[in-house]
Amino acid sequence: MEDQDNQLNIELSAEIAEGIYSNLAIISHSTSEFVVDFIRIMPGTPKANVKSRIILTPEHAKRLMFALQDNISKFETQNGKIKIAENPFIPPMPMGFGGGEA
């Protein structure tokens, strides 16, 4: 019974469950937070808008990194290595307040 007391109920609305497609992420950081902007770039369009912004503490950013590494490893075990191709129409993006780009 003690396990049930420690459970966290997470609710997912229908709108959020649909998700938002992103084909570019810009990651910036300060001493206290990481900011991940998810962007959708369309070919031939000179402008792209941030579709979602996630702000994390450094500790949670590192946990996210480990979770992504674990899931990518599992995916590649089942489906083969993910190939990353250079995308020539994406220009270098200016960085925010001290971060990098992913």
pLDDT for 94 = 44
pLDDT tens, residue order, the chain (102 aa): 455 678 999 999 999 999 999 999 999 999 999 999 999 998 888 899 999 999 999 999 999 999 999 999 999 999 999 988 776 555 455 444 344 555
62 closest CA partner among 85, 29, 84, 37: 29
DSSP code at position 19: -
**Count of structural domains, the chain:** 1
What range does the domain containing 56 cover? 16-80+96-101
In a domain, 75, yes or no: yes
Question: Given this model, what pLDDT does residue 102 score?
Answer: 52
Whether 43 is covered by a domain: the verdict is yes
- Residue 28 within a domain: yes
Say what the pLDDT of residue 98 is: 45
Say if 3 falls within a structural domain.
no
What CA–CA distance (Å, rounded) separates 81 from 72?
9
